[in-house]
């Protein structure tokens, strides 16, 4: 195909969109509605995944140190933990700081319950707060930290706590949420493809006589197909762009409303962080479905 023939097909495709008027509007509307539902669910899944990621990232390992170890041993244990490739951050919490934070957490009840405890009489041990790169490695890292006692006769580590049991359950729930979200998005994408392609098929069905006449006068299948390819791609592009605009306006308004109300305590993923992914997906899907719907629909009318 030369360039002039290609331009001819593009012009015919554009003309067909405007020539068919209400049928083109119906096709665009079908794409907008289907992709809007899909886009809303994608945004929902992205925000649920963001909440799950935040929950995972807040899991920390509390390494409670023995009361009778000196500063040099504390530094040794800290360096050994820091040398683990899974560890991203270590924070030392002295027993004085721990007692202070405990008083603050207890609130008004602290004065009576913690009466008599001070710097010289502090039952709390020093501890290390350990964060890991991958939250799912927390149980494994906790076991490695506990095993450090085997290298030191002083047994510097009193206890390692990370919420065993609850953390594993949390990881299972977040993993299930992500998998279910992906399944629903894939299902909605397939449903959208069939709804949109059926609407485009109705549009082409109304022009079956035109296609038959072109075949009878000697037009090749490729010559007939290309304007319909362009028409389907254009309808898909317009529908997906309209959908992207609607989602942007609605999601931005929702984000401003939620973030402006501190009582809700919610933080949605900023649209600026996901617009390229979301709009690219919708536009690509819209154009692909438009071309695919035209290809499937016109195939049987070419057998004349």
Lowest mean pLDDT among 131-135, 206-210, 289-293: 206-210
- Region 89-115 average pLDDT: 67
Cα–Cα nearest to 228, from 25, 17, 22, 35:
17
**What's the CA angle centered on 136, arms 132 and 139, to 5 degrees?**
80
The Cα 257–Cα 82 span in angstroms is 42
pLDDT at 5: 63
Q: Is the pLDDT of residue 83 over 80?
A: yes
Please give the backbone phi and psi of residue 68, each rounded to the nearest 5 degrees, phi first: -100, 15
Res 293: pLDDT: 72
How confident is the prediction for the chain on average, in pLDDT? 76
pLDDT at 128: 87
**pLDDT, position 265:** 53
Location of each CATH 3.30.70.3040 domain in the chain: 60-161
> Looking at residues 76-101, what average pLDDT do you find?
83
3 state SS of 87? strand
- Buried (b) or exposed (e) across 225-261, using 16+ Cβ within 10 A? bbbbbbbbbbbbbbbbbbbbeebeeebeeebeeeeee
Please state which CATH number belongs to domain 60-161: 3.30.70.3040
The pLDDT of residue 208 is 67
Residue 109 has pLDDT above 60, yes or no: no
Mean pLDDT along residues 93-116: 63
> pLDDT per residue over 1-19, tens digit each?
566 666 766 776 667 667 7
Q: Is the pLDDT of residue 246 over 70?
A: yes
């Amino acid at each position: 195909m030369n360039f002039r023939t290609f331009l001819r097909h593009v012009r015919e495709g554009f003309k067909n969109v405007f020539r068919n008027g209400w049928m083109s509007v119906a096709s665009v509307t079908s794409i907008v509605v289907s992709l809007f539902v899909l886009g809303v669910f994608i945004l929902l899944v992205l925000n649920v995944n963001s909440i799950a990621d935040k929950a995972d990232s807040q899991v920390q390992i509390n390494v409670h140190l023995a009361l009778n170890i000196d500063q040099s041993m504390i530094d040794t244990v800290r360096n050994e933990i820091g040398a683990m490739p899974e560890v991203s951050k270590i924070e030392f919490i002295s027993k004085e700081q721990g007692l202070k934070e405990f008083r603050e957490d207890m609130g008004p009840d602290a004065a009576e319950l913690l009466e008599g405890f001070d710097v010289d009489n502090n039952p709390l041990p020093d501890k290390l707060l350990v964060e890991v790169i991958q939250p799912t490695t927390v149980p494994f890292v906790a076991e490695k930290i506990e095993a450090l006692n085997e290298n030191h006769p002083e047994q510097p580590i009193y206890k390692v706590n990370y919420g065993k049991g609850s953390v594993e359950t949390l990881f299972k729930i977040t993993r299930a949420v992500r998998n279910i979200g992906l399944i629903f998005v894939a299902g909605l994408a397939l449903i959208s493809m069939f709804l949109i392609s059926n609407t485009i098929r109705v549009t082409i069905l109304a022009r079956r006589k035109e296609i038959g006449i072109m075949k009878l006068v000697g037009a090749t299948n490729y010559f007939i197909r290309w304007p319909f390819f362009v028409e389907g791609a254009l309808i898909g592009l317009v529908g997906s762009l309209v959908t992207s605009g609607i989602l942007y306006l609605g999601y931005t308004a929702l984000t401003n409303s939620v973030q402006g109300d501190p009582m809700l305590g919610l933080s949605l993923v900023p649209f600026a962080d996901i617009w390229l992914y979301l709009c690219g997906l919708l536009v690509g899907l819209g154009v692909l479905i438009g071309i695919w719907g035209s290809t499937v629909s016109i195939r049987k009318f070419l057998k004349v």
